[in-house]
């Protein structure tokens, strides 16, 4: 879960979540997520799911391997072939133990269009349908837990609706988490670094470390909010503190890994996507009490990694030439009261 600007200036391009500009291959279009599909339209499909016509177990076949021949004749590339092509350049992939598996649908069908996103929400699925895409590549879980296990939910109405929506429109969902992080460079890190204009500071020897011209914590927060389209963020520190060494830890690496990175790199500022509030933030508070000039910014999980799913479009252009691909932002789940 876990890349510019020049002359040390703190801003370059805006990468907004809410009015995210999509870099598709056929066109460049603003993506606005639609409202939910009417329940009546999906009632029949939902009943089929509840009866077992759509089985989660069958949907969880591993991403790699499988048939190579395109389904339906012709020269059309199958979804399975797209998955295989994406994994071809990743060391060790496909992995024997991984969450990068098919979550729904038949990957042997020809690919009509691809949507990349952080979360395959109902709204993202509906947008994929509107775009004529039948393949969603999501970075995070689809069914509300890390392994996308659904047995514990039984015939839950929210789960049934989502499965019915996918089944009705023949949509395949594949999670691309472990692989994109194992890409060299890490695709998620590189995508967000580019969005921030910090890719010029990237070092393959120390990927988490950004050493940049000094700027105040307050200036960095404003630049991050503008570049990533964030209205508000959490922070610990003095906005006037000068920061030059930054450790960037996208997603939710966990307290031990986050604190280990702080100890290793001794940064002025640690930026992460998400944390447990009894771990890294408490370590930073104690460090500051002891006189250390260490600050913390918490971006939010989705925004800290979403740039990687936009970065993936460039790879798809090479691996699946001619297939329309669009990034659809799943957006922020929370509002500030």
**Domains of the chain by residue range:** 21-182+304-327, 201-301
Q: Lowest mean pLDDT: which of 13-17, 229-233, 291-295?
A: 13-17
**Distances in whole angstroms, Cα of residue 328 to Cα of each of 102, 153, 234:** 19, 27, 25
Which is more confident, 265 or 65? 265
Asked whether residue 44 carries a pLDDT value surpassing 60, the answer given is no
Distance of CA 124 to the CA centre of its chain: 13
Asked whether residue 46 carries a pLDDT value surpassing 80, the answer given is no
For the chain, what is the HEC assignment? CCCCCCCCCCCCCCCCCCCCEEECCCCEEECCCCCCCCCHHHHHHHHHHHCCCCCHHHHCCECCCCCCCCCCCCCCCEHHHHHHHHHCCCCCCCCCCCCCEEEECCCCCECCCEEEECCCCHHHHHHHHHHCCCEEEECCCCCCCCCCCCHHHCCCHHHHHHHHHHHHCCCEEEECCHHHHHCCCCHHHHHHHHHHCCHHHCCCCCCCEEEEEEEEHHHHHHHHHHHHCCCCCEEECCCCCEEEEEEEECCCCCHHHHHHHHHHHCCCEEEECCCCCCCHHHHHHHHHHCCCCCEEEECCHHHHHHHHHHHHHHHHHHHCCCCCEEECCCCCCCCCC
pLDDT at 336: 84
CATH 3.40.640.10 for domain 201-301: no
Q: What is the mean pLDDT of residues 19-44?
A: 42
Asked whether residue 153 carries a pLDDT value surpassing 80, the answer given is yes
Strand ranges of the sheet holding 234-236, from the earlier edge strand across to the other edge: 209-216, 242-249, 269-272, 295-298, 234-236
pLDDT at 62: 41
Q: What band does 337 get if pLDDT is binned at 50, 70 and 90? A: confident
Tens-digit pLDDT profile for residues 189-236 = 999 999 999 999 999 899 999 999 999 999 999 999 999 999 999 999
For 21-182+304-327, CATH number out of 3.40.1390.30, 3.40.50.970, 3.40.640.10, 3.40.50.10190 equals 3.40.1390.30
pLDDT at 327: 98
Tens-digit pLDDT profile for residues 50-65 = 444 433 333 334 444 4
pLDDT at 75: 66
Asked whether residue 187 carries a pLDDT value surpassing 70, the answer given is yes
pLDDT, the chain, mean = 84
């Amino acid at each position: 879960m876990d890349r510019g600007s020049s002359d040390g200036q703190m801003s370059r391009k805006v990468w907004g979540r809410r009015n995210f500009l999509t870099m598709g291959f056929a066109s460049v279009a603003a993506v606005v997520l639609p409202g939910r599909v009417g329940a009546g339209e999906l009632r029949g499909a939902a009943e089929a799911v509840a009866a077992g016509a759509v089985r989660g177990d069958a949907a969880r076949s591993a991403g790699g391997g499988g048939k190579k021949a395109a389904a339906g004749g012709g020269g059309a590339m199958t979804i399975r072939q797209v998955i295989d092509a994406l994994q071809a350049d990743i060391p060790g992939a496909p992995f024997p133990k991984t969450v990068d598996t098919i979550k729904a649908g038949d990957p042997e069908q020809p690919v009509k269009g691809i949507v990349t996103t952080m979360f395959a929400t109902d709204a993202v699925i509906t947008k994929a349908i509107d775009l004529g895409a039948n393949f969603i590549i999501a970075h995070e879980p689809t069914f509300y837990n890390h392994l996308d296990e659904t047995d514990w939910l039984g015939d839950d109405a929210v789960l049934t609706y989502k499965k019915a929506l996918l089944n009705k429109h023949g949509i395949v969902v594949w999670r691309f988490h472990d692989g994109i992080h194992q890409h060299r460079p890490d695709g998620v890190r590189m995508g967000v670094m580019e969005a921030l204009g910090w890719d010029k500071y990237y070092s393959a020897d120390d990927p988490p470390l950004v050493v940049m011209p000094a700027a105040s914590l307050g200036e960095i927060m404003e630049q991050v909010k503008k570049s990533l389209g964030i209205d508000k963020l959490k922070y610990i520190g003095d906005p006037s503190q000068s920061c030059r060494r930054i450790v960037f830890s996208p997603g939710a690496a966990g307290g031990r890994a986050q604190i280990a990175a702080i100890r290793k790199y001794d940064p002025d500022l640690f930026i992460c996507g998400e944390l447990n509030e009894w771990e890294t933030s408490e370590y930073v508070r104690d460090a500051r009490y002891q006189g250390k000039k260490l600050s913390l910014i918490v971006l939010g999980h989705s925004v800290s990694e979403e740039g990687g799913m936009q970065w993936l479009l460039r790879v798809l252009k090479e691996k699946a030439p001619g297939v329309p691909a669009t990034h659809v932002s799943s957006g922020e789940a929370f509002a500030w009261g």
